[in-house]
Chains A and B, each alone.
Chain A
Amino acid sequence: MKRRFKIILIFLFVALCGGYIYFKSLKVRHQELIKSKVYYTLGLVDNTWKKELTDSKVTYTTPTFVISNLYKSMEGPKSDEFVVIDDSKEELLWLTSFKTKAVSADETRNMSNDFVCHTNFEYRDAEHYNRLGFTERIGQHYPRITSISNGVESFDLPEGFGFPVFSNERLFLNAQALNHNITDSIFSIKHKIEIGYTSNKQQQLIPLQPKTIFMMFPFDIKDPFKGPTEAIPNACIPVETKNHTYYNNEGNPLSGHWIFTPGKHHYAYDTTEQLKIKDSIRLHQITAHLHPFAEKFILKDKTTNTIIYQCNSENYANKIGLKSTPTFSSKEGVWLYEDHVYEMLLDVNNTTNKDQEMMASMAIFYYDKDMDNKINSLKL
């Protein structure tokens, strides 16, 4: 018995050491996945999503995120959930506002939004479009409604506009924590995610179609972290080659999440192909998603040399983080045309002496004429 006990102890000790060495060899984002799984499965922290519903907004509270490390974008604890706004009835709602804030784990205190990496709001396109009799739209766009990220705590669509969903339609939320600065303590937070809405019975709004356009730059698939070469002069250094890697029509890889060195940098990206405008669209809302050290993010009509949206983002002076990234909102809208060329321009200034990581995207909303006609014809 004594010998068997010793063998078990030795086995456990070796297994623990091996596990620890393996764990430490993982990237931060993978370590956090394991840590969260352990916290949630052992019930060490709150592992449930909660919902509060009123007549005009629904608030989802995430499980607890334990902040025990520095987390750059996409590295922190995260949680996903399929949600419905109100499954006690089936009625058309118009989503009109989006907000995320960090709170203490006991939900009694507001925390800094420095701990919000992002919240992604998505619809499930087959259910969404089939409910509205729009089968032909399935698979046409990535089904993201919008995204809230560090520097953009909330935004409202222009008055009178909304994104239509049914009250008992399944949506998908993805929330992730961030921590660029705190290293001297371990603490827990949650995210409170609010979606404002109006019932179609109260008021029929004008439908907007969401789309995300984003900067991405090529890299050499054979030597991805080499950076610019003669063959690929505008190559970036991708943060990694799995996530946020896209392929152009020629099959060459591009990264939407790249590394930049200390100092100032300027980036330009032709987004005409991403916009895929048929005839014309009327743009009403833009929310930028940027990382710290971004200073200026522009959407420009290159054909007319007109700036459509200029986001002068503000960085904190005494810590790493975006203080604000102003959104674009317009009831009248701005027209974009099929035969124009559109460009995204980005200025960054890495004021540290270390490499940093960048993403630059715009979650846009434009008038959805076909949906407007459809909803009118359905007489919902």
Chain B
Amino acid sequence: MTKTWIIRLIALNFSCLFFASIYSCKEKTTSLPILSYNYDEGKKATYRIEDFSFVNQDSLIFTSANTLGKVHTFNFFFTSCPSICPPMRLQQLEIAKTFQEEPKFMQCSISIDLKRDSISTLKNFADVFEINSKNWNLLRAKSEKELHEMAGKLKTNFKPNDDYTDFYHSSYVALIDKEQYIRGFYNLLLPKDVELLKADIFMLLKD
């Protein structure tokens, strides 16, 4: 009788520790404000991330019709990026894994290297890193104008160096809700921001 109870107590302790660990990993969040807005003469004007048209790694047209009704992220990258893209990609692969069973979530990464990142390059890149267009679209714009318009909407910027061999771009992703409003910005190079992003995705998925 005593032995049984000792075993039960040990099992209970481990169970408590396990469930408490899972619970404690979740960041507490409050409601998220809409951050896609501009001020005009003291008046706040919100806007949606829409009216864009890109092509994804599967050579399919990708527009705001694909993101409507889905929680999604947008960021800029380029496949030959030697600096911040590889660690960002590791985090994005982890996010893709976390939400792989969630049909209402996707990541969108737009290449800023129009010269080298053809659709076939994006396809090869997706194949190498097992990026599935079901939940992560690698996108190509048709012109720099489109890229800069999208950067303006996403409240970020990028800049090629003089010989176009490298680009400055941000390590942030914008989190966008099902209604296509920006609800947060997260630095993928900071582990705490990545945890916060995951918690916020969970929260927006429940909305």
Query: A residues touching B (Cβ–Cβ < 8 Å)?
Result: 5, 8, 12, 37, 40-43, 47, 49, 80, 82, 84, 87, 90, 124, 126-127, 130-131, 133, 135-136, 138-139, 166, 168, 170, 172, 378-380
Residue among A12, A47, A126, A139 with the highest chain B CB neighbour number at 10 A: A126
Q: Across the two chains, which residue of chain A brings its CB closest to B41? A: A379
Residues 176-207 of B at the A interface (beta carbon under 8 Å): 184-187, 192-193, 196
- Find chain B residues with CB under 8 A from A166 CB: 33
The CA-CA distance from A82 to B24 in the complex, in Å, is: 14
How many residues in B have their beta carbons less than 8 Å from beta carbons of A? 32
Does B21 make an interface contact (CB < 8 A)? yes
Residues 60-81 of B at the A interface (beta carbon under 8 Å): none
Residues 1-49 of B at the A interface (beta carbon under 8 Å): 3, 7, 10, 16-17, 20-21, 23-24, 27-31, 33, 35, 38-39, 41-42
- Nearest-CB distance from B138 to chain A (Å)? 22
The CA-CA distance from A131 to B36 in the complex, in Å, is: 9
Task: Verify B21–A41 contact, CB threshold 8 A.
Answer: yes
- Find chain B residues with CB under 8 A from A136 CB: 157
The CA-CA distance from A168 to B21 in the complex, in Å, is: 29
Task: Verify A12–B17 contact, CB threshold 8 A.
Answer: no
Task: Verify B24–A40 contact, CB threshold 8 A.
Answer: yes
- Find chain B residues with CB under 8 A from A130 CB: 35, 155, 185
Q: Across the two chains, which residue of chain A brings its CB closest to B30? A: A87
Task: Verify A80–B192 contact, CB threshold 8 A.
Answer: yes
The CA-CA distance from A127 to B200 in the complex, in Å, is: 14
* Chain B contact surface mostly: mixed
Task: Verify A87–B31 contact, CB threshold 8 A.
Answer: yes
Task: Verify A82–B27 contact, CB threshold 8 A.
Answer: yes
Task: Verify B10–A12 contact, CB threshold 8 A.
Answer: yes
Q: A41-B21, A42-B16, A82-B27 are in contact. Are A127 and B35 (CB under 8 A)?
A: yes
- Find chain A residues with CB under 8 A from B38 CB: 133
Q: A136-B157, A139-B170, A378-B42 are in contact. Are A127 and B184 (CB under 8 A)?
A: yes
Query: B residues touching A (Cβ–Cβ < 8 Å)?
Result: 3, 7, 10, 16-17, 20-21, 23-24, 27-31, 33, 35, 38-39, 41-42, 155-157, 170, 172, 184-187, 192-193, 196
- Nearest-CB distance from A168 to chain B (Å)? 5
The CA-CA distance from A138 to B151 in the complex, in Å, is: 14
Q: Pick from A37, A135, A172, A380: contact of B42, CB below 8 A.
A: A380
- Nearest-CB distance from B175 to chain A (Å)? 11
Q: Across the two chains, which residue of chain A brings its CB closest to B192? A: A80
- Nearest-CB distance from A83 to chain B (Å)? 9
The CA-CA distance from A110 to B17 in the complex, in Å, is: 32
Residue among A42, A130, A166 with the highest chain B CB neighbour number at 10 A: A130
Q: Pick from B17, B33, B193: contact of A42, CB below 8 A.
A: B17
The CA-CA distance from A8 to B9 in the complex, in Å, is: 13
Q: A42-B17, A84-B30 are in contact. Are A126 and B42 (CB under 8 A)?
A: no
Residue among A12, A49, A80, A139 with the highest chain B CB neighbour number at 10 A: A139
- Find chain A residues with CB under 8 A from B24 CB: 37, 40-41, 47
Task: Verify B157–A380 contact, CB threshold 8 A.
Answer: no
The CA-CA distance from A374 to B131 in the complex, in Å, is: 41
- Find chain A residues with CB under 8 A from B196 CB: 82
- Find chain B residues with CB under 8 A from A12 CB: 10
Residue among B23, B29, B38, B155 with the highest chain A CB neighbour number at 10 A: B155
Task: Verify B3–A5 contact, CB threshold 8 A.
Answer: yes
- Nearest-CB distance from A247 to chain B (Å)? 14
